[in-house]
């Protein structure tokens, strides 16, 4: 398994939750997204562009999102709180930004976060790009991080390789 692109996300998820949410994360075995993949109530989305393109989606059940946002912000936050989406988006931003520093030999930019709130939604991709799901377990509950990324260019000469293909 080529872990060049998945390990940075796993390290980043753990670091962001340990440092900013005061919560340890146990990461399960990543798997390729399929039709029966779990839905989410809250998702923070960050796009990638440059030498790699795609996105990372941080998805929570509502209760877990509220607990994580509250622990992050240091105040009680429910889904109606004006800072709820901001907190989820910033967590996604930190995970994406922290992961991309470990993409050796690549120059990658990240977008501003978007946050989707809606019971049992699915985040669809508009371009053909395999998606890998990283299941995460914490004392706050379960959540998942979905990575859909295509390498456009890197110094090792690998071009337009879907992350999942590289990981299999």
Q: Which residues lie near another protein (CB under 8 A)?
A: 15-16, 19-20, 69, 72-75, 82-83, 86-87, 89-90, 93-94, 96-98, 100-101, 107, 110, 112
Q: Which is nearer to another protein, 92 or 150 (CB)?
A: 92
Q: How far apart are CA 114 and CA 77, in angstroms?
A: 18
Q: Are 99 and 12 in contact (CB under 8 A)?
A: yes
Q: Residue 86: in which H helix or E strand, if any?
A: helix 84-100
Q: Which is nearer to another protein, 77 or 164 (CB)?
A: 77
DSSP-derived letter for residue 36 is: T
Q: Which is nearer to another protein, 82 or 157 (CB)?
A: 82
Nearest approach, Cβ of residue 13 and another protein (Å): 11
Nearest approach, Cβ of residue 31 and another protein (Å): 26
Q: How far apart are CA 50 and CA 127, in angstroms?
A: 16
């Amino acid at each position: 398994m080529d872990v060049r692109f998945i390990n940075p996300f796993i390290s980043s998820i753990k670091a962001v939750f340990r440092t900013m949410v005061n919560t340890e994360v146990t990461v399960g075995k990543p798997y390729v997204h399929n039709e029966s993949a779990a839905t989410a109530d809250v998702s923070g989305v960050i796009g990638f562009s440059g030498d790699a393109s795609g996105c990372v989606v941080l998805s929570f059940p509502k209760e877990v999102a509220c607990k994580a946002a509250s622990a992050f912000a240091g105040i009680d936050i429910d889904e109606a709180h004006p800072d709820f989406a901001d907190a989820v988006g910033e967590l996604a931003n930190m995970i994406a930004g922290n992961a991309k520093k470990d993409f050796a030999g690549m120059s990658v930019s990240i977008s501003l976060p978007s946050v989707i709130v809606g019971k049992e939604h699915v985040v669809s991709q508009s371009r053909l790009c395999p998606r890998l799901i990283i299941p995460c377990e914490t004392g706050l509950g379960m959540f998942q991080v979905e990575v859909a990324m295509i390498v456009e260019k890197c110094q090792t000469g690998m071009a337009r390789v879907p992350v999942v293909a590289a990981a299999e």
